[in-house]
Structures are given as C-alpha cells and as structure tokens.
Structure 1
Amino acid sequence: MIQIYNLKELKTKALEDKVPIICDEGLDFLEKLLLENKAKSLLEIGTAIGYSAIALYLSAPNLKITSIERDNLMYEKALDNIKNFNLTDKIKLINNDALEVNLDEKFDVIFIDAAKAQYIKFFEKYKSLLNT
C-alpha cells in the first residue's frame, strides 16, 4: 500500500481511483463555516477514504471529528489514511450503516456526504444531535 502524508497526494489518489470526494469549493465552504462559528465538533456521515475529515481537521485542529462509513473497504482505506496523517486520536471512525448507529453526543456541525437517496433519513435521525 502507498503511504500518503500529503493532502494533495490523497486527493490525486482519490481522483485516480474514482473515489467521490468533496469538491474544493465545498471544502472551502465547510472550512470557513467551521472557523467562523468556532465549531468544536463535527459529525460526518460518509467517510469514504477520509479525505474531507483529514482536510477539515488540518484546517481546524481543535475540531473533534466523528465520521461514519458503512463500506468496509472505504473504512479500511480511511483508517489507513488517518493513521498516515497521524490523526487516529483526532478523528473517530465508526464502521457501520449511519442509519443503525446510535450516538448520544452533540455536534456543532453535521456534514452529510453519503448516499444521496438517504439524506432525508440521515437528517431526521441526526438533527437532534445538533447543538443549538
């Protein structure tokens, strides 16, 4: 397996492997949202290879990130990438279907980036975990 420690390399690898990752504009928007609102916690639904979780943590290093990924292969790749960036104690990964996960913590931001057909179900399930 290739060791990747650079965000640009991780993005390039994702694009080569046709792994869907957040676009630059979306990432910029989220980074700005997190920083302007001084967000301390983020729930990501849909980890893929961990690109957005890693990028968001690097732009807001006080952020506590929990990310849920149901696909075993993507989960393993994300785990490897997070280890390569030395962020295993900063980004918590959960390998399960987000509709089956029960969390009891609150989050400042919830980022849904998973199965588009399930967005409403994800929102309904997790909206009560948003800090208001």
Structure 2
Amino acid sequence: MKMKEDALRDKIPILDDMTARFLYAQVKIKKPKRILEIGFGGGYSTLWMALGNPQAEITSIEKNRERFEKGQEKLKTLPYNINLLFEDARVFLKDLDGRFDFVFIDAVKSQYLNYFQSIENKLNPGSVVFADNIFYRGKLFEEDMSPKKRKEVMKLKEFIKRLNENKKFETLFLPVGDGLSMSLYQGEES
C-alpha cells in the first residue's frame, strides 16, 4: 500500500499489519454507519476502516498540521465519505453533535481517558470503542523511566482502570499489535 510506504518514509506512526487487519475486520463485521477516529496520523487506519465499510460516514480528527495536510491530499481522491478535521480532539469533542457506532482512538496516550469520557454520551447502544497502543511499547510494565513518561504511563493506567470499572461498557484488552482495548457500549446504567 502506497499510503503505508509514504507514512513509514515520513516517520508517521501507523498501525501494524495485524492491528490494521483486525480493525478492518471489526468494521466489516459491525458495518457501522458513523465512525469517529481520534488521531488520524497518515490516514492509514482511516483507509482500512473505509475499506471495511465503504458506505460509512467517517469523521477523523488530527491536530498535527503536516499530517493533516498529507492525509487530506491522499484521501481526497478516494471514493469514501471521509470528513477529515484539523482540530484538537479535546476541544472538538466538547461540541460534537450526533452519535457514533464505532470509535477508534489512536492519539495522545495521556489524553485517552479525556477522549473516552467526551464520547461516552455520543454513542448508540451496541457501539464499540477501540483504543490502540494500550501497552505503550511495554512502558506500562516498566519501573525505570523519565518523570514525563511516568506521568503518561500513570494516565494510561488510570484509563485502563476506568475502562474496567465502567459498567456501561463490556471491555476486553486484546494482545493485538501494541495492545488494543475493545469496549462495547451497553447503554445507560439502569
């Protein structure tokens, strides 16, 4: 895939092959009408989701201008309904309208909990939320690290803890790629 080669050349982090195929399969099986992607990167994950359901309406958010512009250039020629937004997800999600059936989070790891909390009330029952890189290249299990990394790891651990405690979701932690959480939204607690 040319998009993968370009991303690797430009040193833009992308999904590994197993995670990309898993994401594609989940979209193909679930057939979501509306997909939200938080963290667009080079557009590689966006393309895999679009291939999984060409009829889906995909909203993808990226705050890095260079990545946004490169991705926009690549995706504008494709026959999919992809709305790519140059925004900070923390700001955008506060005013987001509508509901989503499928959410993929692959952005600033220390913000995962904030992203997740911002979308909780934007989901339809049966929606699924994926968060990539939850093992954080093994850092989740390390003791010796810089204070900045330690803070990021603590926030990611808090996110994982909250996923486990949230009764509105059934969550699995999958050993796919660098770790993937899969949270099925059950609806509001009774």
Normalising by structure 2, we get a TM-score of 0.61
CA distance in 2 between partners of 1:126 and 1:120 (Å): 10
Residue 68 of structure 1: SS of its match in structure 2? Answer: strand
CA distance in 1 between partners of 2:14 and 2:27 (Å): 18
Structure 1 position 86, deviation (Å): 4.6
RMSD: 1.3
CA distance in 2 between partners of 1:30 and 1:64 (Å): 16
Identity %: 38
Corresponding residue for residue 99 of structure 1: 90
CA distance in 2 between partners of 1:36 and 1:59 (Å): 8
Structure 2 residues not aligned, in runs of 5+: 126-190
Tell whether 2:84 aligns with 1:70. Answer: no
CA distance in 2 between partners of 1:19 and 1:130 (Å): 29
Tell whether 2:95 aligns with 1:124. Answer: no
Corresponding residue for residue 20 of structure 1: 13
Structure 1 position 130, deviation (Å): 1.5
Structure 1 position 84, deviation (Å): 3.4
CA distance in 1 between partners of 2:42 and 2:14 (Å): 8
CA distance in 2 between partners of 1:14 and 1:115 (Å): 18
Structure 1 residues not aligned, in runs of 5+: 1-7
Residues matched between the structures, number: 123
CA distance in 2 between partners of 1:36 and 1:108 (Å): 12
CA distance in 2 between partners of 1:33 and 1:61 (Å): 13
Residue 108 of structure 1: SS of its match in structure 2? Answer: strand
Structure 1 position 31, deviation (Å): 1.5
Corresponding residue for residue 5 of structure 1: none
Structure 1 position 44, deviation (Å): 0.1
CA distance in 2 between partners of 1:86 and 1:99 (Å): 29
Corresponding residue for residue 60 of structure 1: 53
- More strand per residue: 1 or 2? 2
CA distance in 1 between partners of 2:52 and 2:28 (Å): 8
CA distance in 2 between partners of 1:35 and 1:55 (Å): 10
Aligned structure 1 segments of 4 or more residues deviating by more than 3 angstroms = none
CA distance in 2 between partners of 1:58 and 1:37 (Å): 13
